[in-house]
Amino acid sequence: MEHVLFLAHTEADNTLHKSAHEALSAAKTLAEGLGASLSAGLVGGEVQAAADSIAGCGAEKIFGVSGETFGQSRYATDAAAFEALAKAAGASIVVAPSTSRINRALPGAAQRLGGVCDTDTTGAAASGDQASIKRWFYRQRMVAEMTRTERPWFITIAPGSLSAWEGASGGASVESVAVDVDTRTQVTGQKAPAADEQTIRPDAKLLFVTGAGWTKKQKDGQVHGQRAAQIIKGFLHNASCSLGSSKSLTDMSAEGGQVLPFLSHLNQVGQTGSTPRHPKGLATCCHGEEPHVVGWRFINERRAVNLDANCGWAHGKADVLYVADAFEVMEKVNALLGG
């Protein structure tokens, strides 16, 4: 008989991220479909608050690895903690959120236990006594349903691909698991940009994509790079959205063209970039060609601003196309949002 373990780490404030609740939803669905038992395993500096928040999830036991050593992301401590939790729970299937911290260390834990690991899956289900997962391939152009016979099977769920678990909190009993591990690194602090300077925001409700048209000559025959940067940064601040870019715009720095100083290849959306998941998306100054639009596969509502009424967005790739000057439209939007 299978035993499913939900595995997650706490955030800096000792809570669970939304992606962890999404993975918990997948773990519950899988356990119910298989008729299997469900346990939870938490790693962090302090795990009691996180355990209390999922007390109503139906887990038979909640295991915890806690302490100052496990409050920081570190391969050695995380892999050891994940291994210990899987052993303590007697898990045959482990479901976790696909965070950078888990994706880095979970395959190592799987190797130590003689298991297998599949990362960035978009769903887990059961048919009879067989568990299966869904994964996208070829830049989200193909989806496959896969199953494995090897155990333990470690699965991570891509953030934004499932609905988050919502249930009652309460007073949870946490069974502490001791982990003895030596570390060679010491975390002395963190350096990060201010929250309002961060342009990639996975939890934002809107994806705002900029195209190369922002740095091209406008109707007066001049390039207005500084004005474009002010408009874009103003909208990011006013709408608290996430910034994406077409490949042509991020490539302009290598081609010697005028660039937006806050953009990098990390912002690129499309076939050779990322495939973000946001409820809504707004594209400006890009033509909506297929290599870029493939990155919008998981954007639920799509809108675009372009002067070309026959651009790619007009051919069924956007729900709404505004045939207008993006500079004028976004300046008006900023005025409305800022007013």
pLDDT in tens, 28-74: 999 999 999 999 999 999 999 999 999 999 999 999 999 999 999 99
Which carries the bigger pLDDT value, residue 203 or residue 179? 179
127 confidence band (pLDDT: 50, 70, 90): confident
| Whether pLDDT at 332 is above 60 | yes
CA distance 55 to 43: 16
- Scanning 140-289, the segments in alpha helix (DSSP H) are 225-239, 247-250
User: Among candidates 34, 47, 45, 44, which has minimal Cα distance to 4?
Assistant: 34
Q: What is the pLDDT of residue 82?
A: 98
Instruction: Evaluate whether the domain defined by 3-176 bears CATH number 3.40.30.10.
Output: no
Residues 6+ apart with CB under 8 A from 98: 19, 23, 119, 120, 121, 156, 157, 158, 159
Q: What CATH class is the domain 195-338?
A: alpha beta
Tell me the per-residue pLDDT of 303-326, one tens digit each, with 9 for 90 and over: 999 999 999 999 999 999 999 999
| Whether pLDDT at 256 is above 60 | no
List the chain domain ranges.
3-176, 195-338
Average pLDDT taken over every residue of the chain: 93
**Rounded to the nearest 5°, which phi and psi values hold at 75?**
-60, -50
| Whether pLDDT at 253 is above 80 | no
Q: What is the pLDDT of residue 255?
A: 57
Tell me the per-residue pLDDT of 72-87, one tens digit each, with 9 for 90 and over: 999 999 999 999 999 9
- What value does the mean pLDDT take over residues 184-193? 80
188 confidence band (pLDDT: 50, 70, 90): confident
| Whether pLDDT at 300 is above 90 | yes
CA distance 332 to 335: 5
Q: What is the pLDDT of residue 338?
A: 84
End-to-end CA distance of the chain: 61
254 confidence band (pLDDT: 50, 70, 90): low
Run of H or E residues at 81: helix 75-89
Q: What is the pLDDT of residue 184?
A: 85
Tell me the per-residue pLDDT of 209-237, one tens digit each, with 9 for 90 and over: 999 999 999 999 999 999 999 999 999 99
Point out which residues pair with 270 in neighbouring strands. none
**Percent of the chain predicted with pLDDT > 70:** 97
Q: What is the pLDDT of residue 315?
A: 92
- What value does the mean pLDDT take over residues 269-276? 90
| Whether pLDDT at 122 is above 70 | yes
Query: Does 3-176 match 195-338 in CATH topology?
Result: yes
> How far from the centroid of its chain's Cα atoms is residue 110's Cα?
22
